[in-house]
Amino acid sequence: MFADNALFAFGLTAFAGLSTGIGSALAFFAKRTNPQFLSVSLGFSAGVMIYVSFMEIMVKAKDALQGSMGLVAGTWAAVLAFFGGIVFIALIDKLVPSYENPHEMHRIEEMNSKTLAQEVLAGQGLAIESAESKRKLLRMGTMAALAVGIHNFPEGLATFTAALSDPSLGIAIAVAIAIHNIPEGIAVSVPIYYATGDKKKAFLYSFLSGLAEPVGATVGYLLLMPFMSKTVFGIIFAGVAGIMVFISLDELLPAAEEYGEHHLSIYGLVSGMAVMALSLLLFL
């Protein structure tokens, strides 16, 4: 089953990761941010990921681990792997400096108003046109691209693993992660554009930062497939559930509320859960 789905899983993972390029393109070609749409979309993405993590991924992880380790040991292993996934992604997030964190939300209007650049350089005695300010902005954009890549690595493994097990599940997760990657593309491209004045370079950095997801899938495939068993699969799947729940609670929902009203993000969250539930019911 795993070998048959591998190519499809790689394709989904690449789609999810490279959607950072969509965010970059929106920053260059759209005139205004639609905060209500982004709020609902990010909430929807969170709803999909939270629902599928608890109702599908954790269930499959527990079944696999209980089948190989027994009821009590398997349940303990699933729970520990779930929180292990949370600790893993939390440590990655902690290593990214807050002012370079790609999950700090930015708007398309910043491409014209220079709001982001002015805020970053304020208090440093630097004019936005100065050579020193451009070096700082380039470093900020480069570090944001690196940060996106670091975050996307485990997300790529999550998408790939889910798609290997269940292609329909992989599609849902890939779409949710793709939505979540669009604002990150804006966060990478804005400072690089102001540092270089080159839209192509800004787009390229943003686009390439998403390559970490298929790289994560490739590394996971090469390292884990030779040792794949029910136990290994269950541990990975439970860890993936933890990663996705953390991303939803720490990144997607706060971002959704920052872009729009609290209720819009919650409506999106519930809608994402409902759509995910319906899609799983249709495949029974």
Rounded to 10 degrees, the C-alpha dihedral 222/15/156/207 comes to 100
Q: Is 63 domain-assigned? A: yes
Cβ atoms within 10 Å of 230's Cβ, excluding its own:
15
Domain count, the chain: 1
Structure tokens at 200: 């192509």
Dist. CA 34–CA 196, nearest whole Å: 26
Q: Is 217 domain-assigned? A: yes
Q: What integer pLDDT is reported at residue 1 of this predicted model?
A: 47
Helices (H), the chain: 2-18, 20-29, 35-52, 58-69, 71-94, 110-113, 115-121, 131-165, 167-196, 199-209, 212-224, 230-247, 253-259, 262-282
Q: Is 40 domain-assigned? A: no
Structure tokens at 70: 């027994």
Q: Is 36 domain-assigned? A: no
Q: Is 42 domain-assigned? A: no
What's the longest Cα–Cα distance across the chain?
Answer: 65
103 or 146: which carries more pLDDT confidence?
Answer: 146
Average pLDDT, the chain: 79
pLDDT 10s digits, 32-84: 556 777 788 888 989 988 998 999 889 999 999 999 999 999 999 999 999 99
Taking residues 168-175, report their average pLDDT: 84
Using DSSP, state whether 228 is helix, strand or coil. coil
Q: Is 39 domain-assigned? A: no
Q: Which helix (DSSP H) or strand (DSSP E) does residue 261 occupy?
A: none
Q: Which domain holds residue 160?
A: 2-28+55-282
Dist. CA 190–CA 100, nearest whole Å: 12
pLDDT 10s digits, 150-170: 777 777 888 888 888 788 888
Q: Is 215 domain-assigned? A: yes
Q: What integer pLDDT is reported at residue 252 of this predicted model?
A: 82
Q: Is the confidence at residue 118, as pLDDT, over 70?
A: no
Dist. CA 250–CA 217, nearest whole Å: 23
Taking residues 3-17, report their average pLDDT: 83
Q: What integer pLDDT is reported at residue 128 of this predicted model?
A: 46
- In SS3 terms, 115-160 reads as HHHHHHHCCCCCCCCCHHHHHHHHHHHHHHHHHHHHHHHHHHHHHH
Q: Is 119 domain-assigned? A: yes
pLDDT 10s digits, 205-247: 888 888 888 888 888 778 877 877 889 889 988 998 998 899 8
Residue 102: phi and psi, rounded to 5, are: -70, -10
Percent of the chain past pLDDT 70, that is, above it, reads 79
Q: What integer pLDDT is reported at residue 124 of this predicted model?
A: 42
pLDDT confidence band for 187 (50 / 70 / 90): confident
Angle in degrees, 0-180, between the axes of helices 230-247 and 35-52, rounded to the nearest 10: 150
Tell me the pTM: 0.74
